[in-house]
Amino acid sequence: MSRHSKKNYVTPEECLAFERAAEYKNEYFDGEIFATTGASRKHNLITLNIGAELRNQLRGRTCEAYISKMRVQVPATGLYTYPDVVVACGEPQQTWCS
C-alpha cells in the first residue's frame, strides 16, 4: 500500500496554485496542505520585538530579518511554512514559494 494512499497527496506546484487563490496562508508538508491560524495581539508584539532586535543586530552584515509573510522552504524536511521571524544571509534562493 502506498504511503500516500490515505490522504490526498498534493505536489508543491499544486500547493502553490492553491496558495495563490486562497484568502489565507497555508503550510505544506509531505504532500498535505494545512491552513494556518491567526495570531494574538501578544504574539504579534513578541514577533515584532524579536524582528526589530534582530534587524538591529544584523546592521552592517549580509543578513536580513523578515517577519511573518515570508514563505520559507526547509529543504531538510520538505516543509513550506511562514515562520514568525526568519533571518536570511546572503542572497535568498527563490523556489516555488517565491
* Residue 15 pLDDT: 79
* Residue 3 pLDDT: 53
Q: What pTM does this model have?
A: 0.63
- Mind listing the pLDDT tens digit for each residue in 1-49? 445 445 778 887 887 788 787 777 787 888 888 877 777 899 889 999 9
d(CA 83, CA 38): 13
Per the prediction, the chain carries an average pLDDT of: 81
d(CA 18, CA 34): 11
* Residue 50 pLDDT: 95
Q: Are 65 and 55 in contact (CB under 8 A)?
A: yes
What are the cell numbers at 55?
Answer: 534587524
- Mind listing the pLDDT tens digit for each residue in 70-81? 788 888 888 888
Residue-wise DSSP of 19-33? HHH-SS-EEEETTEE
Query: CA 44, 47, 52 angle in degrees (round to 5)?
Result: 125
- Mind listing the pLDDT tens digit for each residue in 6-17? 577 888 788 778
* Residue 48 pLDDT: 92
- Give all domains of the chain, ordered by start, each with its CATH number: 12-89 (3.90.1570.10)
